[in-house]
Every structure is written in structure tokens, then in C-alpha cells.
Structure 1
Amino acid sequence: MKAADVRAMSVDQLNDELLKLKKEQFNLRFQAATGQLEKTSRVQIVRRDIARIKTIARLKAAEAKV
């Protein structure tokens, strides 16, 4: 997911996407623990997407206050 795509989302969409990514992160961690994880790079991608969404959501919240 690119930052430009995330910036185009509304706050509600960001929260929905964050929830979806958190669920995926949990499932990936579970697969890694049981030895069923095939695509290990997906863990890092999901973690970065979560951070990107949180950062942009915080920026949007700060803009709303001003």
C-alpha cells in the first residue's frame, strides 16, 4: 500500500483498514508459530502498512484540531 493511497482515505476507512491489517498480522504470527507461514516477507509488509496508516491517521487528527 502506497502512502498516496492511504492519504486519500477518510478517517473511517483508515480505521477499517487498520483493523483488517491487525487481524492479518495476528494470523501471520499464528502461522509463523505453528510453522505454516509460507511467505515470510508478508509479516514485514503488514507491519509497515500498519505504521503507515497510524502515522497518516495521526496527521489527519492533528490537522482537524487546527
Structure 2
Amino acid sequence: MAKIDDFRTMTVDQLDDELLKLKKEQFNLRFQKATGQLENTSRVRQVRRDIARIKTVAQTKRAAAVSK
């Protein structure tokens, strides 16, 4: 899983930026699905899981920063 390792090397600010980018993509994918223009349906699932991964890593980093 190279992706989770990439997320772990990012700072919290970078994770927040990536999260914002993925949420915009998720919105666009939902819009495409509603209008029948979505070609790659598996991308919806990938984006949703990446959002969850980023939230998990960010929460872990914030908790570690508080406990120090």
C-alpha cells in the first residue's frame, strides 16, 4: 500500500489540502453519476476510501501532536 505510506509522510496541512481536493473530486463524480456521464464507476469507491485514509492519518497525527 504505497498510498497510505504517502499520506503518512505528509504534514497535517498537506493532508487537509489533499482532503479538500478529494472532496471536490467526489462531488464531481457524484454529479457525473447523476447526469449519467460517469465512465469509471470504481473511482467513486477509491476516492471515498482515500478520504477515509486521509482522515485517519490526520487524526492520528493530531492526537500525537497533542500528547507531546
Q: Which amino acid aligns with 2:42?
A: S
User: Which residue is equivalent to 1:28?
Assistant: 29
Alpha carbon RMSD of aligned pairs, Å? 0.8
Q: Return the alpha-carbon distance in structure 2 between the equivalents of residues 65 and 17 of structure 1.
A: 22
Q: Please give the per-residue CA displacement for 1:34-57, whole angstroms capped at 9, x wherever unaligned.
A: 000000000000000000000000
Give the Å deviation of 1:2.
1.1
- In structure 1, list runs of 5 or more residues that go unmatched: none
Structure 1 length as normaliser, TM-score?
Answer: 0.98
**Distance in structure 1 (CA, Å) of the matches to 2:28 and 2:19:** 14
Q: Is residue 46 of structure 1 aligned with residue 47 of structure 2?
A: yes
TM-score w.r.t. length of structure 2: 0.95
Instruction: Report the counterpart of residue 61 of structure 1 in structure 2.
Output: 62
Q: What SS does the corresponding residue of 1:2 show, helix, strand or coil?
A: helix
Query: Per-residue deviation at 1:30?
Result: 0.2
Structure 2 CA distance, aligned partners of 1:16 and 1:61?
Answer: 15
Instruction: Could you tell me which runs of 5 or more consecutive residues in structure 2 were left unpaired when the two chains were aligned.
Output: none
